[in-house]
């Protein structure tokens, strides 16, 4: 395990952080309308989707956020992109806070941040030709002097993602799911970004096509020096793509570790449950660990550690005290009993 520890240490010190997430919190008011609450004597209902989350993403690396549905992954992605204002905390992209500075001051930073969406079909305008879809960011950010230069750049981007120049005149419905996602990647690259948020970019694709798209994304990262925030629930994708992994549960970051350390020796009981539940080629006949139930209501989460109703190691302290994030060997873990969870 010493090799894993040394590699984790070198990876965290290797590059300056391009993205810094500090104590990020987002609350949603999901209450009924005021008059209904008065007549029915209902209290306000507040959903805390993200609760005091902090992490860094080094330049040229891939940080993966994993967790079950409803854990807050996509909400974090929207706040990182500046599409959703945080209730508390901040996100710094190369030192700039997109939620606080004016639009003019952040124009260049916004150009350097793009997104690859989960559903390639829904993310493409069905009435636009592919060339127009890809050239839109080029025109919006003034990255080409004229239409001829824009057209040349579109052809270059299509070739970069494995499509042909002739595809620029076609409509999205003429392509397969994997080809549509390649178009989405080309559009994301059109503004010459440094940081790309990937919100489950392969979950809607067939397994064989997933591998092709993931290989393309890795090749582009190596070629262009891209930094990725990868949102996924698929641990096989995490193992292939990520340099560092953050595990979310009900809006809280419960474990952060390098990919190697997380898969070799997870420290949080929830991380262990996720790994046990993941499909394996050698899994026929093996016994699955029972996780103790479903995710609690996020509007009324359990006190203390949110995971304690499902945790086999839970004790009275877990039911009343929120665990602080602390270093346990090669991981950062929010668990009172983390020392007892090694494999």
Superfamily of domain 2-112+193-279+290-340: P-loop containing nucleotide triphosphate hydrolases (3.40.50.300)
Alpha-carbon span 104 to 34, nearest angstrom: 37
Average pLDDT along the chain: 87
If you average pLDDT over residues 47-52, what whole number do you get? 95
pLDDT value, residue 170:
97
Alpha-carbon span 2 to 215, nearest angstrom: 29
Question: What SS3 state is found at 223?
Answer: helix
The model's pLDDT over 227-256, given as tens digits with 9 standing for 90+, comes to 999 999 888 899 999 999 999 999 999 999
Alpha-carbon span 269 to 273, nearest angstrom: 6
Q: Residue 181 pLDDT > 90, yes or no?
A: yes
Higher-pLDDT residue of 312 and 57 is 57
The model's pLDDT over 139-149, given as tens digits with 9 standing for 90+, comes to 999 999 999 99
Domain boundaries, the chain: 2-112+193-279+290-340
Alpha-carbon span 155 to 190, nearest angstrom: 11
Q: Sign of torsion, CA 105 111 112 116? A: positive
CA 169 from chain centre, in angstroms, equals: 32
The model's pLDDT over 87-132, given as tens digits with 9 standing for 90+, comes to 999 999 988 887 776 666 677 788 899 999 988 889 999 999 999 9
Cα–Cα distances in angstroms (integers) from residue 10 to residues 186, 206, 214, 217, 267, in the given order: 32, 35, 25, 23, 20
The model's pLDDT over 59-85, given as tens digits with 9 standing for 90+, comes to 999 999 999 888 999 999 999 998 899
If you average pLDDT over residues 189-208, what whole number do you get? 91
245 closest CA partner among 47, 3, 4: 4
172 closest CA partner among 129, 203, 143, 137: 129
pLDDT value, residue 193:
95
SS3 readout for 175-208: CCHHHHHHHHHHHHHCCCCCEEEEECCCCCCCHH
pLDDT value, residue 252:
95
Confidence grade of residue 7 (pLDDT, cut at 50, 70, 90): very low
Confidence grade of residue 3 (pLDDT, cut at 50, 70, 90): very low
pLDDT value, residue 280:
60
254 closest CA partner among 139, 338, 167: 338
């Amino acid at each position: 395990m010493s090799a894993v520890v040394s590699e984790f240490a070198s990876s965290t010190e290797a590059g300056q952080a391009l993205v810094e997430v500090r104590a990020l919190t987002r609350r949603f008011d999901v209450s009924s309308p005021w008059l209904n609450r008065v007549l029915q004597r209902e209290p306000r209902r507040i959903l805390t989707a993200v609760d005091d989350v902090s992490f860094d993403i080094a330049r040229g690396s891939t940080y993966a956020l994993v967790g079950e549905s409803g854990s807050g992954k996509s909400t974090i992605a929207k706040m990182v992109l500046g599409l959703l204002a945080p209730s508390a905390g901040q996100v710094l992209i190369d030192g700039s806070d997109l939620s606080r500075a004016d639009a003019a001051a952040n124009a260049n930073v916004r150009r350097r941040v793009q997104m690859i969406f989960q559903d390639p079909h829904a993310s493409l305008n069905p009435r636009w030709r592919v060339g127009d879809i890809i050239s839109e960011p080029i025109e919006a950010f003034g990255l080409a002097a004229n239409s001829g230069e824009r057209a040349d750049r579109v052809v270059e981007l299509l070739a970069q993602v494995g499509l042909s120049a002739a595809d620029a005149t076609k409509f999205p419905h003429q392509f397969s799911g994997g080809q549509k996602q390649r178009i989405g990647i080309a559009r994301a690259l059109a503004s010459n970004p440094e940081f790309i948020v990937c919100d489950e970019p392969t979950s809607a694709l067939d397994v064989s096509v997933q591998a092709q798209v993931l290989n393309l994304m890795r090749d582009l990262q190596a070629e262009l020096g891209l930094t990725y925030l990868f949102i996924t629930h698929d641990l096989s994708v995490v193992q292939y793509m990520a340099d560092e992994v953050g595990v979310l549960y009900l809006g809280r970051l419960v474990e952060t570790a390098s990919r190697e350390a997380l898969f070799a020796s997870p420290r949080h009981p929830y991380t262990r449950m996720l790994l046990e539940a993941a499909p394996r080629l050698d899994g026929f006949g093996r016994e699955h660990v029972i996780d103790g139930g479903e995710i609690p209501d996020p509007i009324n989460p359990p006190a203390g550690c949110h995971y304690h109703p499902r945790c086999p190691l839970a004790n009275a302290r877990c039911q009343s005290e929120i665990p602080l994030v602390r270093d346990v060997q090669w991981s950062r873990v929010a668990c009172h009993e983390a020392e007892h969870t090694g494999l």
